[in-house]
Amino acid sequence: MSVPGADRRIRSLRPPKLATDPYSAHGSVIDDERRPDGRVERALTVFLTGAECPFTCSFCDLWRYTIDGPTPPGALTRQLSNVLGAMEGPSPERLKLYNASNFFDLRAVPAEDVAGMARLASSFAAVTVESHASTIGERTLAFARDIPGRLEVAIGLETIEPVAAAQLNKRLDLARFDEGVRFLAEHGIDVRVFVLLGAPHVRAEESVEWTVRTVEYAVSRGASVVSIIPVRGGNGEMERLQALGHFTPPTLTQLEDALDGCLQFAPSVVTADVWDAELLPACTECRPARIERLRRLNVSGAPEPRVACSACDAA
Q: How far apart are CA 252 and CA 291, in angstroms?
A: 8
Q: How far apart are CA 45 and CA 76, in angstroms?
A: 14
pLDDT tens string, the chain, 315 residues long: the values are: 667 689 999 999 999 998 999 999 999 999 999 999 999 999 999 999 999 999 999 999 999 999 999 999 999 999 999 999 999 888 899 999 999 999 999 999 999 999 999 999 999 999 999 999 999 999 999 999 999 999 999 999 999 999 999 999 999 999 999 999 999 999 999 999 999 999 999 999 999 999 999 999 999 999 999 999 999 999 999 999 999 999 999 999 999 999 999 999 999 999 999 999 999 999 999 999 999 999 999 999 999 999 999 888 665
Smallest CA-to-CA distance from 1 within 164, 240, 237, 227 is with 164
pTM for the model: 0.96
How remote is the C-alpha of 235 from its chain's centroid? 17
Smallest CA-to-CA distance from 309 within 281, 291, 286 is with 286
Smallest CA-to-CA distance from 113 within 80, 145, 86 is with 80
Contact predicate 173/162, CB 8 Å: no
Please tell me the CATH code under which domain 6-282 is placed. Answer: 3.20.20.70
Smallest CA-to-CA distance from 79 within 128, 127, 126, 21 is with 21
Q: How far apart are CA 136 and CA 240, in angstroms?
A: 32
Q: Where are the domains of the chain?
A: 6-282
